[in-house]
Amino acid sequence: MLKFDEKGLIPAIIQDADNNEILMMAFMNKESIRLTLEKGTVWFWSRSRQELWNKGGTSGNYLTVREISKDCDEDVLLIKANPAGPACHTGNRSCFYRGLDTEDIG
C-alpha cells in the first residue's frame, strides 16, 4: 500500500522514458493516480490551486506514461514518460536546470 502524507499526497518524480533525464517532481493524490492509470497521461494535485491538473492540459506538453514504479518505502513514485514538449512551466525541458550554491540555503 502506498504511504501518503498527512494531506493525502505522495511525491512523484517524472523521468524521460527514453533518456532517463529527470524532468520534474510534483505531488499526486489517490484520484490523480487513478486518472493517470486510466487515461495514460500524468495527472497531479496542485497544492496551490487545490485541484487536479493534467500536465499539458493547457500547454499541450503532455506526459504520456510508459511505466510507474514505487520506491522501497512506498512513499515516492517514479513515472517514466514520453514528454510532448518542455516539462517545466518556464519552457525549459526539465525543471532541474539551475545549479545550487550556498546562497540558496539562506
**What CATH number is attached to the domain comprising 37?**
3.10.20.810
Which residue type does 20 have?
Answer: N
User: If pLDDT is split at 50, 70 and 90, which confidence band does 88 have?
Assistant: very high
**Mean pLDDT value of segment 62-83:** 98
- What was the pLDDT predicted at 31? 98
Is residue 106 domain-resident? no
Residue 28 DSSP class = E
Angle subtended at Cα 93 by Cα 92 and Cα 95, rounded to the nearest 5 degrees: 70
Is residue 77 domain-resident? yes
CA–CA separation, 49 vs 64, rounded Å? Answer: 23
Partnered with residue 78 across adjacent β-strands are 13, 69
Residues of the chain with pLDDT > 70: what percent? 100
Find the domain containing 32 and state its range. Answer: 10-96
> How far is the CA of 58 from the CAs of 16, 53, 54, 55, 89, in angstroms?
20, 9, 8, 8, 11
- What was the pLDDT predicted at 2? 98
User: If pLDDT is split at 50, 70 and 90, which confidence band does 36 have?
Assistant: very high
Is residue 103 domain-resident? no
- Write down the mean pLDDT value for the chain: 97
